[in-house]
Amino acid sequence: MIEFTKLQGAGNDFVLIEDDSQSLDYSKFARSVCDRHFGIGADGLLVLLPSEKADFRMRVFNPDGSEAEACGNGIRCFVRYVFEKGLLKNSVHGLTIETKAGVRKANLYKTGTKLTKIRVKMGAPKFKAEEVPVLPDRPVDIIPILDYPVTVDGRELQLGFVSMGNPHAVYFSYEPVSDFPLSSLGPKVEHLDIFPERINFEVARVLNRKQIEVVVWERGAGITLACGSGACAVSVMAQLRGYVDKKVEVKLPGGKLEIEWDGAGEVYLSGPAKIVFTGRWLIEV
């Protein structure tokens, strides 16, 4: 048996486990527990581990068993778990988390003993093709790449590329994002040959200078109700295009996230994170 906790942040849901022994095959375990018909059901598996670089270490696995470098909603859920379990030893106001994309810092805001807000320092966006990574099939003279044309099922999409520790391609639409055929085009964009490590694909529509609506196709997971790093990627791309201010509310199907970027440094992500339920999983031998 292994104890687990189910959490969600703006509808982006995760199964979290602690595993000091590091004895599990996490890829296989993720495929089992994330299955929505035969498992617990989740957009990803979070593994809490000890760290020599930070207060904690977090590994993230997609439902297909692949490991993700970064996960903004996952970090907030991770922080919620650590706080509610009383695992914070050094500071009640913040903690550091080692991820595959680097060390991330989270600040905690409380009213009395209640945790009311989690703000995560998501790192600085990266724009060079090799940093995303993307392999353009034609010369690219300007960095950041904001309008790279691809054709998918006869539809031309102008994509912007950015890494938030994981790769993102952002498409801005003039139509409501709910009208975009994400279920059919999402997997095809994810697997385009120009993306050597596949891609997270966001479709966005700017509502005003302070609000953007977004839907997401996540690499290794499919359509999710929210994506923290995706919301960051969209906000960065929108600001570079001159569409929005430095602080933006991103409206996703599962809820709202707040993104802040000064145009040069790190991106900050704030949003909800809640425990849904706890349980025990029978590990098959």
Q: Find the CATH number of the domain harbouring 8.
A: 3.10.310.10
Enter the tokens of residue 213: 């609506």
Angle (CA) 33-97-200 rounded to 5° is 55
96 three-class SS: strand
Q: 166 and 70, same structural domain?
A: no
**Does 227 qualify as catalytic in the annotation?**
yes
Cα of first residue to Cα of last residue in the chain, in angstroms, is 11
Does the residue 260 lie in any domain? Answer: yes
The answer to whether the Cα torsion of 9, 252, 227, 117 is positive or negative is negative
Q: Are residues 32 and 94 in the same domain?
A: yes
Same domain, 111 and 165: no
Residue-number span of the structural domain to which 86 is assigned: 2-121+272-281
Q: Quick check: is 130 in a domain?
A: no
Give residue 285's pLDDT. 43
Among the listed residues 34, 77, 227, 232, the single catalytic one is 227
Q: Are 232 and 125 in contact (CB under 8 A)?
A: yes
pLDDT at position 150 is: 97
Which of 34, 71, 77, 232 does the annotation list as catalytic? 71
Q: Tell me, what's the pLDDT at 179?
A: 97
- Which ranges constitute the DSSP H helices of the chain? 26-33, 72-84, 182-190, 228-240
Quote the distance between the C-alpha of residue 86 and its chain's center: 25
107 and 36 in a common domain: yes
pLDDT of residue 205: 98
pTM tops 0.85? yes
In a domain, 98, yes or no: yes
Asked whether residue 67 is domain-assigned, the answer is yes
Given this model, what pLDDT does residue 88 score? 84
The yes-or-no answer on residue 71 being catalytic is yes
> Same structural domain for residues 277 and 241?
no
Map tokens 């060079």 to a residue: 128
Task: Indicate whether 112 and 156 sit together in one domain.
Answer: no
pLDDT recorded at residue 282: 86
247 located within any domain: yes
Split into its structural domains, the chain has a count of: 2
Same domain for 154 and 251, yes or no, is: yes
Distance between CA 4 and CA 59 in Å, rounded?
15
In degrees, rounded to 5, the angle at the alpha carbon of residue 220 between the alpha carbons of residues 120 and 223 is 80
User: Is 183 inside any structural domain?
Assistant: yes
Taking the chain (285 residues) in runs of 10, the rounded mean pLDDT of each run is 96 94 89 96 97 95 96 96 88 86 94 90 96 91 94 97 98 97 98 98 98 98 98 98 98 98 96 96 73
